[in-house]
Amino acid sequence: MRRLKRVMALASLGIGLSLPFGSNSLENILFTPAYAAENAGDGSNEPGFVPAPVGKETPAPPANMAGGESFIPYPPPPAAPQSRSEKKNPPEPPKMFTQIVGGPDSNARPNALNNLLKVLKKEAEVDYACEFKSWEEISADPAMNPILYFSKYNRWSLNTKERDTLREFLIRGGTLILNAGGGSWPAYDSAVKEASLILPQASVQRLSPDNPIFHSYYELDKVKASLGKDGTKIIEPRVSGLTIDCRVAIIIPEFGMDSCSDEFREGIDKVLFPEDAQKLGMNILSYASANRAYLENLKREVVLRDKVVNVSGNLSLVQVMYNGEWKTKDAGLPMLLNEFNRTSGVPVKFNYDTMKLTDPKIFDSPVLFITGHEQFSFKPEERKKLSEYLQGGGMLIAEACCGRKGFDVSFRREINNLIPGETLRAVSPGDALYHMPNKLGQMSVTPALANAMKSPTMNPQLFTLNHNGKNVVLYSPIGEQAGWEVSSSPYSMSYAPSDALKLGVNQLLYSMTR
């Protein structure tokens, strides 16, 4: 049946194949009892299902044109003019997008990427090509297929080999777009579930409005969307994602992007209007390209050693796990701990662990650490335990990774409700936090933050929460962890590495001596 699905997918691309069943009719295959039985759980009977368009033919690409290509051939023509009927062979633009074909509904709107690339060429003067591949042809090397695009209307799933290939592809810097064709809910739900299986150590969640994907090229604070039977509305862009190392690697639009292909079906499709779908596509391309370039050029300046220090009498620092994107930079905190042990002169070594707030062992740790990018909420029991921990003498160090507003808003809301009558307040410039052991004046920041502030430096910015005259929370709305790991992403609103490490060391020393 896997072979049959590939036959149908390739046939939908206009590729001539000899069918293995002695029949020259693709429709005879589509409606066999065996095919119907296998696809009984295709989601077509579920709420929110949107059927794929039918009766569309896949046009053959022009003989002298790659997907998305429309420029005049170069180098210049020879002295003897070619006949207008002769085929030309211009240099082929690089292939940036690869559409995966897997089942007849995965190519129901085959011109989506082609049309998007033509718009990008016209509006942004970027020239890329797209190609079609089956799951078996996908490379785990992002250089071979940098951005993968898979669109489905029905419920779907992957096998173990396909997930393994995608996992390696994503970890190595590739980007995967899982589009719910027409905004079909079963396809969207399948995408969320598969993303969680591909990278189970991360979590899928809706991207906050300040996510760089909405601002990397166009400012997409609002978009125009068709809501099917609910008509047309202007809304915030709704995109879910899964982040690896501060980079959104799996992108799952909640409203279909396939309106790039042709006009949507009013009253049926739940999609972005073509202009906004094209803008989102441009933003994804810009975002993915910037991160690819960054990853290729990144050279670590710090060698991670002693991630967990196993010595008797050491102190334990616990990173908080919560229902959201709690893990951003894997090596950032351990690197800070190593820097603290190396530079502070304090004969104490920190152990590093991860726990949920409901774990009784958090009360054995003098310091908790929490970070993230996106919005989140604690569960009632988590709030209760964190309040008990802080009022019992514990310390919480927190940062909005990459300076992201989604986490900032959520953290302030959660923390300001933990201790009656107390809210976060700014640390005064003369506080010991900024002077021991490192004296901190103007701090260097990342290019992205410097561009936003119109200044390459800023004063350190920390907030505290007080209980019984003592600070029990140290919070930085400016990113630190990327600096601790010496690997700030292109969109990171953070302190530069050397100053981030100095501030982090000061926070750890303060937590021990307060």
Residues 285-332: pLDDT tens digits? 889 888 877 776 554 443 333 344 443 346 678 999 999 889 888 788
Integer CA distances (angstroms), 512 to 73, 174, 316, 462, in order: 67, 41, 12, 17
The reply to whether 104 and 117 lie within a common domain is yes
**Residue 220 clears pLDDT 70, i.e. is over it:** yes
Same domain, 173 and 245: yes
What pLDDT is attached to residue 83?
40
Residue 320's alpha-carbon distances to 80, 203, 226, 263, 396, in angstroms, are: 72, 15, 39, 47, 10
**Can you tell me the distance from the alpha carbon of 92 to that of 71, in angstroms, rounded to the nearest whole number?**
10
pLDDT of residue 334: 83
**According to the model, what pLDDT value does residue 487 have?**
75
Omega into 93 within 30° of 0, i.e. cis?
Answer: no
Give me the pLDDT at residue 299, please. 43
Strands 147-152 and 95-101: parallel
Nearest to 165 by CA among 186, 148, 190, 188: 148
Say yes or no: 279 and 404 in one domain. no
Please say if the pLDDT value at position 45 is more than 80. yes
For residue 107, give the CATH number of its domain: 3.40.50.12140
pLDDT above 70: percentage of residues in the chain: 79
87 or 206, which is more confident: 206
Q: What is the pLDDT of residues 234-250, one digit of tens each?
A: 999 999 999 988 899 99
278 and 323 in a single domain? The answer is no
Q: Which of 86-95, 184-193, 261-270, 334-343: highest mean pLDDT?
A: 184-193
Residue pair 262/176 in contact (Cβ under 8 Å)? The answer is no
117 shares its domain with 256? yes
238 in the same domain as 371: no
Of 138 and 13, the one with more pLDDT: 138
**Residue 396: inside a domain, yes or no?**
yes
Q: What is the pLDDT of residue 262?
A: 63
What number is the average pLDDT over the span 496-509? Answer: 93
Number of domains in the chain: 3
Residue 2 to residue 22: CA distance in whole angstroms:
18
**Closest alpha carbon to 492 in 145, 158, 246:** 246
Asked whether residue 310 is assigned to any structural domain, the reply reads: no
Mean pLDDT of the chain: 80
**66 occurs within a structural domain:** yes
More confident residue, 126 or 387: 387
The C-alpha atoms of residue 486 and residue 417 are separated, in whole angstroms, by 34
Structure confidence at residue 56 (pLDDT): 52
Are residues 55 and 185 both part of a single domain?
A: yes
User: Rounded to an integer, what distance in angstroms lies between the CA atom of residue 177 and that of residue 351?
Assistant: 38
79 assigned to some structural domain: no
Instruction: Give the pLDDT band of residue 75 (cuts 50, 70, 90).
Output: very low
Q: For residue 66, what pLDDT band results from cuts at 50, 70 and 90?
A: very low
Cα atoms in the Cβ-side hemisphere of radius 13 Å centred on 329:
26
* Residue 203: per-residue pLDDT: 86
Q: What percent of the chain has pLDDT over 90?
A: 51
* Residues 437 and 497 placed together within one structural domain of the fold: yes
Please tell me what DSSP assigns to residue 495. B
Backbone angles phi, psi at 356, to 5 degrees: -85, 155
Cβ neighbors of 157 (< 8 A, separation 6 or more) are 190, 193, 194
Domain holding 14, by residue range, is: 1-40
Is position 81 within any domain? Answer: no
Contacts of 323 (CB under 8 A, 6+ apart): 203, 376, 377, 379
Angle between helix 497-513 and 332-343 (nearest 10)? 70
Tokens 């719910």 appear where?
180
Give the Cα separation of 42 and 48 in Å (integer): 13
pLDDT band at 55 (very low <50, low <70, confident <90, very high): low
Give the pLDDT band of residue 492 (cuts 50, 70, 90).
Answer: very high
- Tell me the C-alpha distance between 104 and 306, whole Å: 51
Q: What is the pLDDT of residue 261?
A: 65
Pairing of strands 395-400, 367-372: parallel
pLDDT digits (tens, 9 = 90+) for 90-149: 566 777 889 999 888 888 887 788 788 887 777 777 778 788 999 999 999 998 999 999
The mean pLDDT of 2-24, rounded to a whole number, is: 35
Q: Helix (H) and strand (E) counts for the chain?
A: 13, 18
Asked whether the predicted pLDDT for residue 339 surpasses 60, the reply is yes
Residues 283 and 371 placed together within one structural domain of the fold: no
Q: What is the pLDDT of residue 298?
A: 56
Q: Is the pLDDT of residue 348 over 70?
A: no
Report the run of H or E that residue 132 belongs to, with start and end: strand 129-134
Q: What is the pLDDT of residue 314?
A: 61
- Shared domain for 252 and 338, answered yes or no, is no
Tokens of 182: 């027409």
Span 421-459, pLDDT tens digits: 899 999 998 898 999 999 999 999 999 999 999 999 999
pLDDT at residue 71 above 60? no
- Judged by phi (left if over 0) then psi (alpha if -120 to 50, else beta), residue 468 lies in left
Question: In this structure, are 191 and 338 located in the same domain?
Answer: no
Mean pLDDT, range 36-62, rounded to an integer: 67
54 pLDDT tier (thresholds 50, 70, 90): confident
Separation in Å, CA 67 to CA 72, 77, 88, 438: 14, 22, 15, 56
Structural domain includes residue 436: yes
Task: Give the lowest-confidence range in 182-196, 320-334, 351-365, 389-403.
Answer: 320-334
In this prediction, residue 11 has a pLDDT band, given cuts at 50, 70 and 90, of very low
Q: What is the pLDDT of residue 70?
A: 34
Residues 6 or more apart in contact with residue 8 via CB below 8 angstroms: 26, 29, 30, 103, 104
Rounded Cα distance, 376 and 413, in Å = 10
pLDDT of residue 387: 96
With respect to residue 160, please indicate whether it lies within any of the assigned structural domains.
Answer: yes
Instruction: Say yes or no: 9 and 66 in one domain.
Output: no
Residue 431 covered by a domain? yes
